[in-house]
Amino acid sequence: MRAALPAIDAARLWRRTLALAEIGALPAGGVNRQALSDADIAAWRQMLQWGAEAGLEPACDLAGNLFLTLPGRDRTAAPVLAGSHLDSQPTGGKFDGAAGVMAALEAAATLAASPLPRARDLTVVAWMNEEGSRFAPGMMGSEAFAGVRSLAAIRAVRDAAGCSVADALDRLLATFPALPRRPLGPPAAAFLELHIEQGPLLEAAATQIGVVTGIQGKYTYEVEITGAEGHAGTLDMAERRDALAAFTRMAAQLYAQVGGADAIVKFTIGRLLVAPNAPSVVPARVTFRIDLRHPDAATLARLGARCEAICTEQAAQQAAPCAVAVTRLVDAPPNDFDVGLRTRIAAAAAGRGLSSMPILSAAGHDARHLATMCPTAMIFIPCRDGVSHAEHEYTSPEQLAAGTQVLSDVLAPLLATTSLEDPAP
Amino acid sequence: MRAALPAIDAARLWRRTLALAEIGALPAGGVNRQALSDADIAAWRQMLQWGAEAGLEPACDLAGNLFLTLPGRDRTAAPVLAGSHLDSQPTGGKFDGAAGVMAALEAAATLAASPLPRARDLTVVAWMNEEGSRFAPGMMGSEAFAGVRSLAAIRAVRDAAGCSVADALDRLLATFPALPRRPLGPPAAAFLELHIEQGPLLEAAATQIGVVTGIQGKYTYEVEITGAEGHAGTLDMAERRDALAAFTRMAAQLYAQVGGADAIVKFTIGRLLVAPNAPSVVPARVTFRIDLRHPDAATLARLGARCEAICTEQAAQQAAPCAVAVTRLVDAPPNDFDVGLRTRIAAAAAGRGLSSMPILSAAGHDARHLATMCPTAMIFIPCRDGVSHAEHEYTSPEQLAAGTQVLSDVLAPLLATTSLEDPAP
C-alpha cells in the first residue's frame, strides 16, 4: 500500500453542484448559462467564494478564463491544470461542463486540506465559452489559452443580438476589477478534465469510469446554395433554379454516401435556412451546416472531400443549375490523449475498486486544445440514457463522486513532484 | 360593320394608373398598399373622386368592397361587374390589381360618355384584400361577396401586429360615413377582370390579349415531421430519428414523382423550418409547406393523394422512424371561365386588330370566386419579363390600353340588353 490518498467530500461536491445549477436554472430542471452573461458572472462570483473558502488564489486572463490556484512549494514550476467550463447550452443540463469544474474544485479543496506534499501549483480552471451557443464557434477560452485562435479574432465574434465578445468580455472583466490578471497561456505541466460521457456506452457497460482515449475528429462545413426566386404558380418546373430542390439532391447523397460510410461515422445536417421561405415562392437560397465526425484522420479527410464533391456535383445536376459555395468552418483533427495520464486514471480507478474502460469521446472538449500544449487526459462519468444538451441530463451523486475521487487521486501524485515521469501508484 | 364602339382614353387611363401608384409608392418604383391601411383608404378617396367625375354612383358593402356604378335603364336587372383589387404585395408593383380596377373605371367612364344604350347597370368593383399580405389568406372581399367565406370568419383574422380585420374594416367604413352600404353579394349578371399575366407567355408569344381559360387548382399542405433531438457527435446513425433526414427522403420522392408528373404541374416546397436548428443537434422537427397546382381537377386530386402517401411512407422508412402529420390547408379546385365570355373577349380583340391567345392562369384571382355565382372571365395583358410581386413589375401604356379597350368593347354589348344570350359581334 502507498501513502493514503485523501477522500473527497462527496456531500459537499453534490451540494455545490446543485447550488451552481441554481444559477441560470430553467423550469424543467435544466440550466441556461450563456457565456459572458449575467448568469456566467454570477457563477464566477460563486466560484470565487468557494475558492476563497479552500484558500485558492483567484485570477483570470483576458480571454475570460477563470483560475483558482492551490499553491505548491515551487511557484515557478509549471502548474497542473484541471477543470472544464461553466457555460451551458440554451436548454442544457446541470452537469455538462459544470461537473468538471466542480470536480476540480473539490479535488483542490480536498488536497488543500490534506497533509500530502505539493511540489507545484494545482490550478482549477473554467474555460470561457465552450458551448458556443451564444458566440459561435465555442471553445474560445481554451483556444485562446493554447494559441489555437487569436484573442483578436475571438473578440470580433458577435452574438445574434449583435453584441461582440469584446464588449461582453470587457463587461465581465470590469465586474471583477480586483481579480488579478494572468498572461494568456502560461506553461502547463498537464491538464485533466472530468466530463459526463454525453453518450450511452458507460451506462450500457455498467462501468463507472471512462478513460478517454481521444476525441474524434470533426469537420464543420457551411454550404450555401444559390438559385433564383420564382412564383410557385407560374414558373415551369424545368426552368426553376430551386435551391431547396438542389439541397434535397445533395442531402440524399450525403446521408447515403457519407452518413452510411461505416458504423462509426457521425454525419449531421443540424442547421438549415431557406430564403425567402415563403410558401408560394420557389426558394432562392438554402444555407446549411454539415457536422462530420470520425476518429480516424484519414477517413475523416476522405469523407470531408466526398461531402465537398457531392455538393458541387448535385448543384450542377439540374436543367437550370444552382451555384454552390462550400466553406469548411471547423477542421479539428482526431487526437489521442496522453498514454501516461490514461494509465494513471485507470490505475486510480482500480485503486478505489471502481470499474473503468477505455472510451472515445464523440464530442469535442476544451481538452482537445490543451492537448496541443501539454500532456492531457479526460475522465468520463456515465450520464443517464446517454442524454446531454437537454434539461433532463443527469448523473448521480455516486457517479460524480467516483469520477471526482479518481481525479483527485490522479492529481495528488502529479503535484508531489515537478516531473511527470514520477511513477504513478 | 356594327355600330361603332367608343374608344377609351388611353392617356387618361395611363395618367390615372400612375397617379394611383403614388398612393403607397416605394422608392424603387413599386407600391406597398396593404388592405385596409391608410394607403388603401387614400386609394378609395381617389377612386370616389374619379367615379364622381364620370357620374358613377358610389357604394360599399360590409366586407370592404368598393362599388362605382354606371346606371342602366332597368335598375332592378342584375348588373355586370368589372374590376379587380387595390391592395398590393408589401414590395409590389403598380399594376397587379390596380390595372384591373383602372381598366374597369376607364371602361365605365368611356361608356358613360357614349350614346350607346344601357339596359342595366355596370358596376366597377375593387375587392377587399386580394393579396392576403397583411391579413392572410387573401381574396376576402370576393369570398365574402360570393358567400365562400363568412364575414364573421373574415373579421376574426388578425395581422402580424395583432390588429383584426374587424377593427381595420370598421375604421375604413367609419372614414366614409356618407357612402351608401349595399348588402353582401347581390345578383350579378357577369364579372370581368383584367389583370397582368404575372407570367412570361404573352410576352414570349408577342401577343397582346390573353383570353383566360381558367385558373389552375391549388392544394397547400403543411407537413410536420417529428423525430428526436440528439447529439451530433455521439448518437449512432442507426439510432437516429432525424427529422431532416426523413424530410430529405420525402422531398426526393415528391420532387421526382409529383414535381415530375407532367409538363404542366407546379410543385413547390417554399417554406421549411427546422428545430432546434442548431449545427450540432440532430433535428427533432421539420415543418414544411407543399404548394401543388394543376389545371386538371382529377390530376390535382391524384397528385395530392400521392403527396400524402409519400410523406407517410418515407417517414416510416428508417430504423427509428419519425412521426408525420399532413394537413391540407388550401383546397382550391381548378375552374373554367365562361365560354361565352371568352368568345366575346377573343372577338373583341380581333375587332380591334389585336392578337389574342387562350391562356391558363397559374395564379389565383378574385374571379375564381365570382365564377361560382355568375358567368365570369378574365383578360390578361403582358407584363415585362413575366415579373410580378416585385417593384419593377411593368406593363406598357399601349398594353394596358389594348386590354382596357377590349374590356370596354366586351362590356358595351353586355349592357345593351338584360340577357346574356344576346349575340356578341
Closest CA to A408 of A198, A15, A102: A102
User: Do B233 and A220 make contact, defined as CB atoms within 8 angstroms?
Assistant: no
pLDDT score of B424 more than 80: no
Best probe of the A interface among B201, B247, B280, B322, by most A CBs < 10 A, is B280
**pLDDT computed for residue A421 by the predictor:** 58
Q: pLDDT tier at B142 (50, 70, 90 boundaries)?
A: very high
Three-class SS state of A69: strand
Q: Where in chain B is the domain with CATH 3.40.630.10?
A: 10-214+334-415
**pLDDT computed for residue A389 by the predictor:** 86
Cα B24 from Cα B161, distance rounded (Å): 19
**pLDDT computed for residue B421 by the predictor:** 59
Q: Where in chain B is the domain with CATH 3.30.70.360?
A: 217-332
With contacts defined as CB-CB under 8 Å, which chain B residues touch A289?
Answer: 279
User: Do B233 and A291 make contact, defined as CB atoms within 8 angstroms?
Assistant: yes
Which A-chain residues 285-314 have CB contacts (< 8 A) with chain B?
A: 289, 291, 293
A2 burial type by CB count under 10 A (0-12 exposed, 13-18 middle, 19+ buried): exposed
Residues 6+ apart with CB under 8 A from B60: B66, B67, B173, B176, B179, B180, B181, B182
**pLDDT computed for residue A3 by the predictor:** 59
DSSP H or E run through B269 = strand B266-275
**pLDDT computed for residue A297 by the predictor:** 92
User: Do A271 and B269 make contact, defined as CB atoms within 8 angstroms?
Assistant: no
- Tell me the pLDDT tens digit for each residue of A7-36: 999 999 999 999 999 999 999 999 999 999
pLDDT score of B422 more than 70: no
User: Do B232 and A283 make contact, defined as CB atoms within 8 angstroms?
Assistant: no
**pLDDT computed for residue A318 by the predictor:** 73
- The residue ranges of chain A whose pLDDT is under 70 are 1-3, 420-425
The residue to which cell 356618407 is assigned: B178
Average of pLDDT values for B137-165? 94
Cα A132 from Cα A36, distance rounded (Å): 11
**pLDDT computed for residue A418 by the predictor:** 86
With contacts defined as CB-CB under 8 Å, which chain A residues touch B220?
Answer: 279
For B23, the grid coordinates are: 398612393
- CATH number for the segment(s) B10-214+334-415: 3.40.630.10
- Tell me the pLDDT tens digit for each residue of B387-397: 888 889 999 99
- Tell me the pLDDT tens digit for each residue of B243-276: 999 999 999 999 999 999 999 999 999 999 999 8
Q: Is the dihedral of CA A270, A276, A280, A281 positive or negative?
A: negative
**pLDDT computed for residue A271 by the predictor:** 94
Q: Choose the CATH number for A10-214+335-415 among 3.90.420.10, 3.50.40.10, 3.40.630.10, 3.40.50.720.
A: 3.40.630.10
**Residues facing A181 on adjacent strands:** A60
With contacts defined as CB-CB under 8 Å, which chain A residues touch B268?
Answer: 232, 242, 279-282
Closest CA to B86 of B180, B137, B19, B148: B19
Cα B209 from Cα B406, distance rounded (Å): 8
- Tell me the pLDDT tens digit for each residue of B3-50: 689 999 999 999 999 999 999 999 999 999 999 999 999 999 999 999
How many secondary structure helices (H) and strands (E) does chain B include? 12, 16
User: Do B289 and A271 make contact, defined as CB atoms within 8 angstroms?
Assistant: no
Give the gap in angstroms from C-alpha A210 to the nearest C-alpha of chain B: 15
User: Do B277 and A271 make contact, defined as CB atoms within 8 angstroms?
Assistant: yes
With contacts defined as CB-CB under 8 Å, which chain A residues touch B283?
Answer: 269-270
User: Do B233 and A283 make contact, defined as CB atoms within 8 angstroms?
Assistant: no
User: Do A293 and B363 make contact, defined as CB atoms within 8 angstroms?
Assistant: no
Cα A366 from Cα A188, distance rounded (Å): 14
Residue of A nearest to B293 (CA): A233
User: Do B280 and A268 make contact, defined as CB atoms within 8 angstroms?
Assistant: yes
pLDDT score of B329 more than 90: no
Q: Are B395 and B383 in contact (CB under 8 A)?
A: yes
User: Do B198 and A231 make contact, defined as CB atoms within 8 angstroms?
Assistant: yes
**pLDDT computed for residue B259 by the predictor:** 97
Closest CA to B258 of A229, A231, A248, A255: A248
Average of pLDDT values for B314-324? 87
Give the gap in angstroms from C-alpha B52 to the nearest C-alpha of chain A: 38
User: Do A267 and B237 make contact, defined as CB atoms within 8 angstroms?
Assistant: yes
Cα B242 from Cα B281, distance rounded (Å): 10
**pLDDT computed for residue B3 by the predictor:** 60
User: Do B232 and A268 make contact, defined as CB atoms within 8 angstroms?
Assistant: yes
For B368, the grid coordinates are: 375564381
DSSP H or E run through A231 = strand A230-231
Give the gap in angstroms from C-alpha A9 to the nearest C-alpha of chain B: 31
Closest CA to A136 of A124, A153, A148, A119: A153
| Axis crossing angle, helix A10-21 with helix A397-415, rounded to the nearest 10 | 110
Over chain B, what is the mean pLDDT?
94
Q: pTM of this prediction? A: 0.76
Q: Where in chain A is the domain with CATH 3.40.630.10?
A: 10-214+335-415
Q: Which of A197, A233, A272 sits opposite B274 (nearest CB)?
A: A272
With contacts defined as CB-CB under 8 Å, which chain B residues touch A273?
Answer: 277
Q: What is the ipTM of this complex?
A: 0.77
Three-class SS state of A152: helix
Residue of B nearest to A91 (CA): B276
Give the gap in angstroms from C-alpha A274 to the nearest C-alpha of chain B: 7
Closest CA to A252 of A271, A274, A237, A267: A267
Q: Choose the CATH number for B217-332 among 3.90.550.10, 3.30.160.60, 3.40.50.720, 3.30.70.360.
A: 3.30.70.360
